[in-house]
Amino acid sequence: MNTTRPDLLVVGSVAVDWIITPTAEREESVGGSATFFSMAASYFASVRLVGVVGHDFPQQTLKDFDDAGVDRSGLEIDPEGLTFRWKGRYHENMNDRTTLETHLNVFERFDPRLPAGHEASEYLFLANIQPSLQYQVFEKMKGPRLVGMDTMNLWIDIARDDLIKMVSKVDVLTINEEEARQLSGEHNLVKAARAIMKLGVKHLVIKRGEYGALLVDHDGHFFVAPALPLEEVFDPTGAGDCFAGGFMGYLSRRGVTPNGASLRTAMIYGSVMASFCVEGFSYDRIRGLSIAEIQERFHTFARLTDFSHAHLLD
């Protein structure tokens, strides 16, 4: 990777989670879409984080942001409020989870404010917040080179019109399998992808958890990235956001090439960062990685799908 580090702005949630898995539990596990995205993307770009937390937010995480080179001047700290908190329990298969508690706290009144200069960021990722807020941020930007966004089933249910309006403006939409089916009304993923592309999406990424991710580019070409086979998934929270961080981070370095090669490579870097994420609680495994570790895992992914020496039938 070259050493140029463009500005990548992310707007989204910063939270404190209580995670319960079949084998372990952590009561104060820092999470939130913008947190995971920022820590993963920080290896590729100069990340600018916009979000809100309360006075109870861990000081150690603020230091971790600083150590990772994340610009947190857009992270509002409400001295009177409490941080967004979520409690969830993962089932035995680690794919399904049950929400036990949700306390929006200061996030309920989140009104994204961009510090001076942030509106000129070259790259923008609108993490999972209300579509109306995503659009509000988008309108403030001064011609970013690439805009990505994420969403969730709640917004598909209660803010569909705002969501579709926002979707038509972005370059990359990242959603999971369930959301793709819900948004499109199609169960088959290929049909779902085709239907979503008709909404004006330029590039679509459907995240499929342990089954990898599916890319549909602006020409309608499909590309499938694998997930790394792991004997144990420790905590899947934030894996999709780390995928987005690796994906957008790489694209901020390379741009979208005409032949789509950079999009396919970005899919693998997204999978790389997601694979690190699930090996620990919170962003524990994402923090302090070396470029050599990231590159070695990239090559591991490349080997998973390498059939260049295969032979056709005689």
Catalytic residue list: 241
Pairing of strands 15-20, 25-31: antiparallel
Which residue is it, tokens 């070409």?
Answer: 221
**Residue 294 to residue 206: CA distance in whole angstroms:** 22
Which residue is it, tokens 């591991």?
Answer: 300
On the CB side of 177, how many CA atoms lie within 13 Å of its CA? 12
Pairing of strands 213-216, 203-207: antiparallel
Buried b / exposed e over 3-25, threshold 16 CB at 10 Å, is eebbbbbbbbbbbbbbbbbeeee
> Torsion angle of alpha carbons 115, 120, 122, 125, nearest 10°?
40
Long-range contacts formed by 63-68: CB under 8 A, 24+ apart: 64/39, 64/283, 64/287, 65/38, 65/39, 67/287, 68/38, 68/39, 68/42, 68/287
Contact criterion met (CB below 8 Å) for 303 and 230 = no
Among residues 11, 264, 277, which one has the least CA distance to residue 136?
11
Q: Which residues make beta-bridge pairs with 214?
A: 206, 224
